[in-house]
Amino acid sequence: MRFMRPVYGRLLSIPVDEATGLTADPILLYLDQNYLSGMVKGKPGFRELEPVLREAVARGVVAVPESEIHRLESSPRPDLPLLDLLGQLSAGLTLPRSADREYCLRRLRAAWASFPGRRSRRSDLADLVALASALPVCQLVTCDAFMADLVRRSSLDVLYRCQIYTGRRRDVDRLRRFLEELLSRLTPP
């Protein structure tokens, strides 16, 4: 059995074992700083997403990898237990390296060139590296709205067949609904 989900005009196909109700391999979900922070702070949308995400991780449907960028971006905010939350969700899984990382980085930088007036933020380079690392290997990727625009302009989401979610409420809710729908198709625990 396969779980089929429309993604930008094509289907994201996720194989599900009928006997166990589990996916053959977990879907990799890259959580950016904004999503981790939203869950730690209990912000609306993120508060509802967290238990669904924890269930999806516990049932082996989703895996949340850690990256070097997580540690780098979390260091200015030691008051928020972002790495603790990430550690609970990842169980030590690290983001696999991809040979396509440099290619993705070049494509994202080229897309950035179409925004000559945008002032760069301190976190932009880290966000570009995180996306270039995550896009080739993760089926679900979270990022800020500007970075999502760069991904779409570069067509990397189409090339790597991944779903992009911003920190906007409608995207947070869309990710939660996607996970709920996936969980609903599995055999009860």
Radius of gyration for the chain, computed over Cα atoms and rounded to the nearest angstrom: 16
pLDDT for residue 6: 37
pLDDT per residue as tens, the chain (189 positions)? 334 333 333 335 555 566 555 556 899 999 999 999 999 999 999 999 999 999 999 999 999 999 999 988 888 888 889 999 999 999 999 999 999 999 999 999 999 988 878 788 888 899 999 999 999 999 999 999 999 999 999 999 999 999 999 999 999 999 999 999 989 887 665
pLDDT for residue 188: 67
pLDDT for residue 50: 98
pLDDT for residue 80: 87
Instruction: Give the pTM.
Output: 0.86
Helical packing angle, 82-90 and 33-41, nearest 10° = 100
- Strand positions, DSSP E, the chain: 2-7, 10-15, 27-30, 62-63, 140-142, 163-165
Using CB atoms within 10 Å of the CB of residue 183, give its burial: 0 to 12 exposed, 13 to 18 middle, 19+ buried: middle
Structure tokens at 8: 């930008």
